[in-house]
A = this chain, B = another copy of it.
Amino acid sequence: MAYYQAPLRDMRFVLNEVFQAGDEWAAMPATRELTPDLADAILEEAARLTRAELFPLNQSADAQGCRFEAGRVATPDGFKEARRTLAEGGWFGLGGNPEHGGQGMPKLLTVAFEEMLYATNTGFALYPALNTGATLLLDHHAPEPVKRVYLPRMYAGEWLGTMCLTEPHCGTDLGLIRTRAEPLPGEDTTGQARYALTGSKIWITGGEHDMVDNIVHLVLARLPDAPAGTRGISLFLVPRRKLDAAGEPGETNGVSCGGLEHKMGIKGSATCVMHFDAAEGVLIGEPHQGLAAMFTMMNYERLSIGLQGLGLGEVAGQSAMDFARQRRQGRAPQGAAEPDQPADPILVHPDVRRMALDIRAWNEGGRAFAGFVAGQLDRARLHPDAAVREDAEALVALLTPVAKAFLTDRGFDVTVEAQQLYGGNGYCVEWGAEQYVRDARIAMIYEGTNGIQAMDLVGRKLFRNQGALVARLVERVRSELDAQRDPELADERRRVSEAVTGLERATSALLARARGDAAELGAAAAGYLSLLGHVVYAWLWWRMMTTARQGLQQQGPSGDAFYRAKLAVGRYFLTRLLPRVESLEQEIGAGAETLMALPEEAFYPRD
C-alpha cells in the first residue's frame, strides 16, 4: 500500500542541472574522478537496493519492533540480512575516508543515498546514519592507530558506531553530565592510554543489537580533574567487546544494555538505556574538548536528520499520490470529469490538489536545499581554494540549523498532509501513512530539538557576528536574481526579491532589539528560523525555475513535462506558501515582552 520509487529524475535535476555537480567535482582533487555518469550509476544502484532490501521491511519492523531479553536486543526480522547486503556492497563507507577503506564520495552525492535510506526504512536507516557520524568523528579526532583499527571495520559495516551523550537528567544541557572516566594503567591494543568509564546513558540509538559482532560507543564523560559544565567534558571510544592483540573482538567490556525505550515510532531502531560499569575505553581528541570534537560532526549529522524529514516526506507523498490514483469520490467543481464512472478521481478537487502541491513544493524545495548545503559541506572540506572553503564554511554554519529544523518541521507537516489525503484510510495502520507521521515526529526532537536549532541560529550564527553571515547570503541571492532576468519569470523574481528584503528588515530590527535585551533573541528564534527557511527555499525555487526554463528552451515548445511541472510547482510555492513570510516578520517583531509578561507560576497547573 505504501509506494516508493527513488525520485531519480528529480535528484539528477538537482545534481546536474541546478548545482552542476560535474563541474563542482572536477574542481576538487578528492572528487576529480567522480563523473556524473558514475554518480548516476551509484544512485541507480542505491535506488534498487533500498527498494529491494529495506522498503519491504518497513511496516513489518514497525509492527514487530525491537525486543529486549536478558540484556540482548533482537532487531526486527530481516534487519540482519539487510545489514549484510548493504555491507557487502560497501554502502556503509560510501562517504568514508579512502585512506581507511571508505569510498570517498562527496556529501552532494551521499545525501541522495541517505534520503533513500530514510524514505524506505527510517528505523533501519538510523544504524548506518549513526555509524557514519561516529566514523566522521573518529576520522577527525582519533589517534592514527585507533583509526587504522576501527575505521575499516566501521566503513565495512562489520562494526557499527553509536553516540552516547544524553543522561536521564540532561539532554539539551550537556554541562550536567555525570558519567566519569578514571585513568587505568596500561594501554589498549592500539597503544592508547586506557580509562574506566562509569555512568548511565539513555536514548542510545543502536546501543545494543544483534546485527554485528562489535559496537563502537563514542561516550561523553568527565575526567577526574574536569572543570564543571560543558568545558569539562571529554570524549571516549568504548567498544562493546575489547579488542584482542590481533584487533579482533575479544572479551566483553563493562558495557550493558538496561532496556529499550517504548517509542511513538522508529520502532525498528533500538533506543537503548546503556550502563557503563568501569568499561574500558580510550580518549578521542584532547581532554575536556569532547563537546568541541562532537561539533565537528554536527553539521553533517544535523543535515542527515534533515534528510530524515525529507525522505519521509517523499515516501509519504508518493504513497498518497498512489492512493489518489485509485480513489474516486465526488465530482469536479465544474461537473463530472468522467461521467461514465461512478465518481471522479479525487485529484479533480482543488483542495486535494492543494495538499498534493504543498507536499511537492516542500519536498522538491527541500531536496534542492539539502543539495545546496551538502555541496557547501564538500567545498568547505575539499576545495583547493581557501577563499571558496571559507565562504562555504560560512554558509554551512548559517544554514545547518535551518537544514535540521526546517527540513524536519516541513517533513513532519508533509507526512501529516499526506495522511490527510487518504481520509479515514490514513488513520488505519495497513496503509502505512500513519507510520510516516510517527517516524517523522522524532526528527524535530533529537540531534538538538528544533528550538535549540533556532537558538543556535539567532545566537551563534546571527547575533555573534551581527548579521554578517546573513548579509553574505543575501548578497549572493541578490546577485543571482540580478544575473538572471528571464522576462517570463519577472513576477517570480519580484516575489523572491521582496522576501529577501523582508528578511533584511527583520534581521536589522532583531539585532537592534537584541543589543538591549538578551531575551529578544530567544523570543524571535523559531520565527526567524522559519523566515530564513522560507526565503532560502524561495531562492532555490527561483533557481530551479530558471533552470527549468532553460531546459524547456533547449527542447523547444514540446519540452519535457518534468520542466513544466517544475515551473508550476515553483509558482505554487511562490504564490501560496511564500506569503507566510509576512506574518513571520510580524511574529518576530512582536518582541520578548509578549512572552515574558506572565510570572512563571502562572504556567504551572494548580494542584
Contact = CB atoms under 8 A, between A and B. Distances in A.
Interface of A: 3, 5, 166, 170-173, 175-176, 202-203, 261-265, 318, 321-322, 324-325, 328-330, 332-334, 342-343, 345, 347-357, 360, 412, 416, 419-420, 423-424, 426-430, 434, 437-438, 441-442, 444-446, 449-451, 454-455, 517-519, 521-523, 525-526, 561, 564-565, 568-569, 571-572, 575-576, 579-583, 586-587, 590, 592, 594-600, 602-607
A356 B605 CA distance: 12
B595 A350 contact: yes
A261 B428 contact: yes
Contacts of A605: 3, 5, 318, 321-322, 325
A512 B606 CA distance: 51
Nearest to A330: B173
B324 A430 contact: no
25 contacts: A3-B605, A171-B329, A173-B343, A176-B329, A176-B342, A261-B429, A262-B430, A263-B428, A263-B429, A264-B434, A265-B427, A321-B605, A322-B605, A333-B518, A334-B518, A345-B600, A349-B451, A349-B522, A350-B523, A419-B441, A420-B444, A427-B442, A427-B446, A565-B598, A569-B598
A420 B437 contact: no
Nearest to A346: B172
B325 A604 contact: yes
Contacts of A351: 451, 454-455, 522-523, 525-526
Contacts of A416: 412, 441
Given A347-B603, A350-B523, A571-B597, 15 more contacts: A264-B427, A324-B604, A333-B518, A354-B523, A416-B441, A423-B445, A424-B446, A426-B445, A427-B442, A437-B441, A561-B599, A561-B602, A568-B597, A576-B587, A579-B583
A288 to B, nearest CB: 19
A151 to B, nearest CB: 29
B329 A519 contact: no
A339 B71 CA distance: 40
Contact of A356 (B173, B355, B603): B603
Nearest to A266: B427
Contacts of A330: 172-173
Pick from A172, A455, A572, A603 the residue with the most CB of B within 10 Å.
A603
Contacts of A587: 576, 579
Contact of A333 (B356, B426, B522): B522
Contacts of A521: 333, 350
How many identical chains are in the complex?
2
B441 A519 contact: no
Nearest to A569: B598
A595 B354 contact: yes
Nearest to A359: B603
A430 B454 CA distance: 28
A607 B342 CA distance: 26
Contacts of A565: 598, 602
Given A3-B605, A523-B350, A598-B568, A420 B445 contact: yes
B576 A357 contact: no
A604 B321 contact: yes
Contacts of A600: 345, 347-348
A182 to B, nearest CB: 22
A340 to B, nearest CB: 14
B173 A451 contact: no
Contacts of A321: 603-605
Contacts of A166: 424
Contacts of A444: 420
A451 B352 contact: yes
Contacts of A427: 263-265, 441-442, 445-446
Nearest to A168: B425
Given A523-B354, A582-B583, A605-B5, A172 B423 contact: yes
Given A428-B262, A595-B350, A575 B602 contact: no
A168 B298 CA distance: 48
A441 B450 CA distance: 21
Given A324-B604, A442-B427, A333 B519 contact: yes
A329 B594 contact: no
Nearest to A319: B605
B264 A519 contact: no
Contacts of A571: 594, 597
A485 B15 CA distance: 60
A576 B590 contact: yes
Contacts of A322: 604-605
A293 to B, nearest CB: 21
Contacts of A568: 597-598, 602
Give the 10 A-B CB pairs with smallest separation, nearest first.
Answer: A350-B522, A579-B586, A264-B434, A333-B518, A173-B329, A262-B429, A350-B523, A353-B595, A579-B583, A575-B590
A594 B170 CA distance: 47
A575 B594 contact: yes
Contacts of A262: 428-430
A205 B437 CA distance: 23
A421 to B, nearest CB: 9
Contacts of A173: 328-330, 343
A586 B582 contact: yes
Contacts of A342: 176
Contacts of A419: 441
A257 to B, nearest CB: 16
A572 B594 contact: yes
Contacts of A442: 427
Contacts of A420: 444-445, 449-451
